[in-house]
A and B are shown apart, each in its own frame.
Chain A
């Protein structure tokens, strides 16, 4: 069975400081990993994904994530947070290869960037 853990319900960071949103996963075999962002009353927007290759993945809006196989982690990072980054962030996983099986999502982490 696949699962994702986002250990922090809420992360607070000051504007301009680096931010990290944590994600660990459990999957049989190799993982496909994703980060999505959700603004209030909106659908999820894709940020970045790891399928294969370089462990450091760069995505939209200056976000990046590092795949760490030994720690089964895929933490989301940004060097300098903006107030506009405040939103709900979801990590998701799927075993690879897996046809059209659905992504399994974490419970989400609410990021609050304070000016």
Chain B
């Protein structure tokens, strides 16, 4: 998982609260990505950013928001509008050789 940190590893929230997941990379990569992982569904793309101050919606962006104010940081906010927020969230960045590097993930539980 080297070079990308996600915090915290486990996160618990009450329904109706917004929560922000942290993703930081020290790999000097331009592109960063957020995926959601649910059992049996693989990885689904939430948002991605190709460069600072720019980001695009992925396949399941509803109920989520992101920012990219610094190259190193790509935080994800899970809003109260997200109907099923409990999941494992993975952040990744990409090098010039097309390989995506993943962080260790944050497991969010909303009750």
**A interface residues (Cβ-Cβ under 8 A, vs B):** 9, 32, 34, 36, 41-46, 49, 51, 90, 92, 94, 99-100, 102-108
The answer to whether B42 touches A103 (Cβ under 8 A) is no
Inter-chain CA distance A42–B94, complex, in Å, is 18
Q: Given A43-B105, A100-B50, is A49 in contact with B40 using a C-beta cutoff of 8 Å?
A: no
The answer to whether A107 touches B103 (Cβ under 8 A) is no
Instruction: Report A-chain residues with C-beta under 8 Å of the C-beta of B97.
Output: 51
The answer to whether A108 touches B101 (Cβ under 8 A) is no
The answer to whether B31 touches A100 (Cβ under 8 A) is yes
Instruction: Report B-chain residues with C-beta under 8 Å of the C-beta of A100.
Output: 30-31, 48, 50, 94
The answer to whether B40 touches A9 (Cβ under 8 A) is yes
The answer to whether A43 touches B104 (Cβ under 8 A) is yes
Inter-chain CA distance A66–B92, complex, in Å, is 25
Distance in angstroms from A34 CB to nearest chain B CB is 7
Contact mask B1-43 → A, CB, 8 Å, 1/0?
A: 1001010000000000000000000000011010100001111
The answer to whether A32 touches B98 (Cβ under 8 A) is yes
Instruction: Report B-chain residues with C-beta under 8 Å of the C-beta of A107.
Output: 40-42
For B102, give the chain A residue with the smallest CB separation: A43
The answer to whether B90 touches A46 (Cβ under 8 A) is no
Contact of A94 among B35, B50, B90, B98 (CB under 8 A): B98
Known: A43-B1, A44-B43, A102-B45. 8 other contacts (CB 8 A): A42-B1, A43-B102, A94-B98, A100-B30, A105-B35, A105-B43, A106-B42, A107-B41
The answer to whether A43 touches B90 (Cβ under 8 A) is yes
A-B residue pairs, 7 tightest by C-beta: A43-B102, A107-B42, A100-B31, A100-B50, A105-B43, A44-B102, A43-B104
The answer to whether B104 touches A42 (Cβ under 8 A) is yes
Instruction: Report B-chain residues with C-beta under 8 Å of the C-beta of A41.
Output: 88, 105, 107
The answer to whether A102 touches B48 (Cβ under 8 A) is yes
Instruction: Report B-chain residues with C-beta under 8 Å of the C-beta of A90.
Output: 42-43
6 A-B pairs within 8 Å (CB atoms) are namely A9-B40, A43-B102, A92-B100, A100-B30, A103-B100, A107-B42
Which residues 61-96 of B sit at the A interface, judged by CB distance below 8 A?
88, 90, 92, 94
